[in-house]
Chains A and B, each alone.
Chain A
Amino acid sequence: MSEPLLEIEGLEVGYRTRGGGTYRAVRGVDLTVARGEIVALVGESGSGKSTLAHAALHLLSRGGSVTAGTIRLAGRDLGDLTDKEWEQVRGREIGLVPQDPTVSLNPVARVGDQVAEVLVIHGVARRKEARRRAVELLRQAGIDDPEARARQYPSQLSGGMRQRVLIAIAIAARPRLLVADEPTSALDVTVQRRILDHLDGLVRELGTAVLLITHDLGVAADRADRLVVLERGVVVEEGPAEQVLRDPQHPYTRQLIAAAPSLSSARLVVGGSVAESSRPVGRPDGSVLAVRGLRKEFPLPRGAARRSLVAVDDVSFTVRRGETYALVGESGSGKSTTARLALRLERPTAGRIDFEGTDITDVRGRELRRLRRGFQVVYQSPYASLDPRFTVEQIITEPLRAYQVGSASERADRARSLVDDVALPAEVLRRGARELSGGQRQRVAIARAIALHPALVVLDEPVSALDVSVQAQILELLVRLQAEHGLTYLFISHDLAVVRQISDHVGVMQAGRVVEQGRTDAILLDPQETYTRELIAAIPGRRALAGLEESR
């Protein structure tokens, strides 16, 4: 190994808890990043990986402090720097690429100025010169037409572009180390791939070392020279990426590898042995939902270049009973709007929707409310979709109360059996949603969705906000519930790796159109469209796997 840049020894980080105790988030971690090396720190939420990253920048949130150990950067002990000295280190010696690009830029400042600010703070350039250099940095970060973009505000840029701006900020003062904290978790897989490719090229060109924090072993394996696996604040395994993947020593690492959707492949089946053909495929006419020629236009505000935006354009597909149909595409491809149209939450501009053999395109009022019983939704964010003031029991029985199903005690019984169905202990019924983890909350949302025995469950990115290991558990749960209750799913996702694990049929959406659809395995094995191929190539972990195959 070449000369070490970042050396962390015996690091302990603790948070003061409300009870007056200390929560040890990082426990005795040793970690080294050599000059120009990319090291991935992998672990689930709560493993302490983000805490470690923040400790390296002296940016721990309130109540957090380094209680033991040393952090050295290029031989210099950062342990006893003053706040003023830290201001010299941050941005200049260590750059940060933060987690969520949509909230990590100052919304009221032009992006060019936000890049230039780094140069001004560290006296690299004066204001005018800094602005000119900012445009150059934006170009380096892969932004087209950087002169115009520099004058725009963050809200005018897409998530991917904002992350590029944040990369420009991080590299502006040429730090020797970049800390990238889940830099692409909030982005679509295709955007994620392009941005990571770009970052990869950039740091190798500049010789910058990177500490990449991620929960996705696939991403880590694709990008890093070395992997460090963190479990509950302790390093359980580390080594060259390829070696860790091929020959994981620790059970936790094996668990992470098994959980990563990118690294596994086939559709999940109950018990792992049920042959695909033995599942109820449904009669040929057993369609639950059929949409034909669906179109949705949104009017644009006056002064826009066009009158209206065509969000969904001539979309047709059929969801059969007991099966999973997945709509895949990037943000803005129209997949969520399509689902909203199918649920009659939006009125289509044109087209026809049949639900269980009845045309529901123009149904309204009481009839529509009766129909709504038949289709339930699980949303992306389990944090936003559960009322924090309700107990879990209230959340789960809400649809039952809304449709006046059963007596109070029957509803309580139903809540108990539903909680059992989604593998949560009965005691959660009395707890509030905010006391639960993200995975537990999503289980509650699923229990609520199936409470009324709906004919169709729409799953709108149900695992995108979750860690990969939790994702795997939720997907397994969905597959098991489908087999047990004969559920029909419409599954919305941007991630083909996830879709591959759960769906029978898939429709690939791009710019409002379904560009390709068919059986999931057929599409994945033999994609016809360039766009589908791009989506498949974007699945993280493929590079690492390919590397493994070759070396065998």
Chain B
Amino acid sequence: MGRYVLRRAGQGIFVLWAAFTISFFILYLLPSDPAALMASGGGETDAVDPALLADLRAQYGLDRPVLVQYADALWHAVRLDFGTSYSSGASAGALVLQALPETLKLTGAALVLAVLAGTGLALASTFPRARWVRQLLSSLPPLGVALPTFWVGLLLLQWFSFQIPVFPAIGNEGAISLVLPAITLAIPATAGIAQVLARSLRGTLTEPYVETARAKGASRARVHFAHALRNAAIPALTVLGVLVGGLLAGAVVTETVFSRVGLGRLTVMSVNTQDIPVVQAIVVFSALVFVVVTLVVDLVYPLLDPRIDVRRTAVTA
């Protein structure tokens, strides 16, 4: 087990390195010039004093060959130093850490919401005896996936902040400001979990061992909860791992719509100003989240299903 985690950690380090390297070169290949962007303060880049540009390039080391820049950036990144932001002059890593708590609150709340609501919806769309209830509820997840996040956010704002002012429209003040953005962010994730889990449950309920359980005299509820749910959970867990990444991406839109401070807003701003160090720090952090979530999901599988042995699957994976 320890060996397995070690090997996975090694794979994770490779993923982080690859994310860093690919994003570095993509950003380097972009046609605009970060020094010019800095000098103009985001305005027109043509009318900048060439001497100032040269100074800035020298100051940030942008005049060196690209491989030297890369090696230098990598060497610093290994020590968690992503350099200083071009636009604010603060440490890029510090900016990410500063923005992180608000985004963690938002995505964490959305994740909990999505797991509870998604599981609930999956059960509600498979358990009732009445066929029409099951069919009606089964049609909800595709709808949830199809709704654009920004539009749902704006609708919620319209209804619950302006028409019936229950929740604040913008800002980061207190738990109450979290409600609408968390719901907005959770809707596609809920739909994803509900759809996969419901489908998996329907499949599981036709398995022969479910008939064995019914032949024991098990009630409908016992069959559903004690036998089918755990067997059906594996595909849903896989989806959950992917959805966590989706939540991070969704935070970009949600934080913009609700004017919240956080990682999503920081991403938008740094991409706009081509603030390479900050974007790099965000990319590496997101990759880290993926690596950790995937590892956790893989470690949970064998707890759900004794047939899955991580040490064995790791060899083929």
Q: Which residues of A contact B (CB under 8 A)?
A: 57, 59, 83-84, 87-92, 95-96, 98-100, 103-109, 117-118, 121-122, 153, 155, 166, 169-170, 173, 301-302
**Chain B residue with the shortest CB-CB distance to A83:** B220
**Chain B residue with the shortest CB-CB distance to A121:** B217
Instruction: Say whether B304 contacts A108, CB under 8 Å.
Output: yes
B211 within 8 A of A: yes
Residues of A within 8 A of B227 (CB): 106, 109
Residues of A within 8 A of B304 (CB): 108
Most A CB contacts (10 A, CB to CB) among B213, B226, B312 go to: B213
User: With the chains together, A118 CA to B217 CA distance in Å?
Assistant: 7
Most B CB contacts (10 A, CB to CB) among A59, A84, A104, A170 go to: A104
Question: Apart from A59-B214, A107-B307, what are 5 other A-B pairs with CB-CB below 8 Å?
Answer: A57-B215, A59-B215, A99-B208, A117-B218, A121-B216
Name the interface residues of B195-224: CB closer than 8 Å to any CB of A. 207-209, 211-220, 222
User: With the chains together, A376 CA to B226 CA distance in Å?
Assistant: 46
Instruction: Say whether B219 contacts A87, CB under 8 Å.
Output: yes
- Residues A87 and B209 in contact in the complex (CB < 8 Å), given A107-B307, A108-B304: no
B213, B218, B305, B312: the one within 8 Å of A108 (CB): B305
Closest Cβ of chain B: how far from A15's Cβ, in Å? 15
Instruction: Say whether A106 contacts B209, CB under 8 Å.
Output: yes
**Chain B residue with the shortest CB-CB distance to A90:** B217
**Chain A residue with the shortest CB-CB distance to B204:** A106
B306 within 8 A of A: yes
User: With the chains together, A107 CA to B212 CA distance in Å?
Assistant: 12
Instruction: Say whether A98 contacts B305, CB under 8 Å.
Output: no
Residues of A within 8 A of B212 (CB): 96, 98, 104-106, 166, 169
**Sample (14) of A-B pairs whose CB atoms are under 8 Å apart:** A59-B211, A87-B217, A98-B212, A98-B215, A106-B231, A107-B307, A108-B231, A121-B219, A153-B306, A153-B307, A155-B306, A169-B216, A301-B312, A302-B311
User: With the chains together, A87 CA to B219 CA distance in Å?
Assistant: 6
Residues of B within 8 A of A169 (CB): 212, 216
B230 within 8 A of A: yes
Q: Is the interface of B mostly helix, strand, loop or mixed?
A: helix
User: With the chains together, A122 CA to B222 CA distance in Å?
Assistant: 13
**Chain B residue with the shortest CB-CB distance to A172:** B216
Instruction: Say whether A106 contacts B208, CB under 8 Å.
Output: no
Instruction: Say whether A90 contacts B209, CB under 8 Å.
Output: no
Residues of B within 8 A of A59 (CB): 211, 214-215
* A-B pairs with lowest CB-CB distance, top 4: A91-B217, A96-B215, A91-B216, A90-B217
Closest Cβ of chain B: how far from A155's Cβ, in Å? 5
- Residues A89 and B217 in contact in the complex (CB < 8 Å), given A98-B211, A104-B212, A105-B212: yes
Most A CB contacts (10 A, CB to CB) among B212, B218, B222 go to: B212
Closest Cβ of chain B: how far from A159's Cβ, in Å? 13
User: With the chains together, A89 CA to B226 CA distance in Å?
Assistant: 20
Residues of A within 8 A of B307 (CB): 107-108, 153, 155
Residues of B within 8 A of A107 (CB): 209, 231, 305-307
Most A CB contacts (10 A, CB to CB) among B207, B217, B222, B305 go to: B217
Residues of A within 8 A of B213 (CB): 106, 117
Name the interface residues of B39-57: CB closer than 8 Å to any CB of A. none
Residues of B within 8 A of A118 (CB): 216-217
A103, A121, A170: the one within 8 Å of B209 (CB): A103
Closest Cβ of chain A: how far from B244's Cβ, in Å? 24
User: With the chains together, A87 CA to B215 CA distance in Å?
Assistant: 8
Closest Cβ of chain A: how far from B208's Cβ, in Å? 5
Residues of A within 8 A of B207 (CB): 103
User: With the chains together, A384 CA to B17 CA distance in Å?
Assistant: 44
Name the interface residues of B47-90: CB closer than 8 Å to any CB of A. none
Closest Cβ of chain A: how far from B314's Cβ, in Å? 11
Residues of A within 8 A of B231 (CB): 106-108
User: With the chains together, A302 CA to B226 CA distance in Å?
Assistant: 34
Name the interface residues of B161-182: CB closer than 8 Å to any CB of A. none
Instruction: Say whether B217 contacts A122, CB under 8 Å.
Output: yes
